[in-house]
């Protein structure tokens, strides 16, 4: 697993990192090593997110959390929640660019829930610095949500303006 992390973070060889992590996942599955499997799935999701496979990353993290009952290291959950929230934030941004505001809001809600879960874990473990950092991520998400709401409102207002009429065209009442 350390080779996969080195390729992910160091050389940015995502294909090699994915190959290495898939091997680690198969070994951890066979050995029924839930904490290591959870961690390996989290690393795989990071690789997928770097490759812009956001839905794949979410599915991989959901798979990791499906074995959470067998994992006794709550610190792994912190990073899993944080990584899933990060992917969801990227999805918010993509949906905003596509002007799909409903999906952006849904992804934002999921990101907020995961950041809150990560914050609760960090606080329970006494990880004050990471708790502060997670609060910062929540504030950034709230700013993005405010922007999202503004964009959605503006988009709705634009739909109400008759075709060919813009701000520089005087209305009949102004003539």
| Per-residue pLDDT, 136 | 97
pTM for the model stands at 0.83
Task: Tell which CATH classification among 2.60.40, 1.10.10, 1.20.58, 1.10.3470 matches the domain 73-160.
Answer: 1.20.58
- Per-residue pLDDT tens for 82-130? 999 999 999 999 999 999 999 999 999 999 999 999 999 999 999 999 9
Domain ranges, ordered by start, for the chain: 1-56, 73-160
- Per-residue pLDDT tens for 76-85? 999 999 999 9
Q: Which of 65-69, 81-85, 153-157 has the highest mean pLDDT?
A: 81-85
CA dist 145 → 113, 130, 150, 153 (Å): 14, 22, 9, 12
């Amino acid at each position: 697993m350390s080779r996969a992390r080195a390729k992910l973070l160091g050389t940015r060889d995502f294909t090699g990192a994915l190959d290495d992590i898939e091997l680690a996942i198969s070994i951890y599955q066979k050995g029924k090593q839930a904490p290591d499997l959870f961690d390996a799935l989290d690393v795989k999701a990071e690789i997928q997110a770097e490759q812009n496979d956001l839905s794949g990353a979410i599915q991989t993290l959901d798979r990791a959390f499906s074995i959470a009952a067998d994992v006794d290291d709550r610190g792994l959950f912190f990073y899993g929640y944080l990584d899933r929230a990060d992917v969801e934030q990227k999805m918010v941004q993509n949906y905003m660019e596509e002007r799909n505001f409903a999906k952006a809001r849904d992804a934002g809600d999921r990101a907020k829930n995961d950041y809150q879960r990560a914050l609760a874990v960090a606080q329970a473990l006494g990880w004050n610095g990471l708790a502060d950092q997670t609060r910062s991520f929540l504030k950034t998400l709230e700013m993005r949500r405010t922007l999202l709401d503004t964009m959605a409102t503006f988009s709705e207002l634009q739909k109400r303006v008759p075709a060919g009429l813009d701000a520089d065209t005087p209305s009949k009442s102004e003539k």
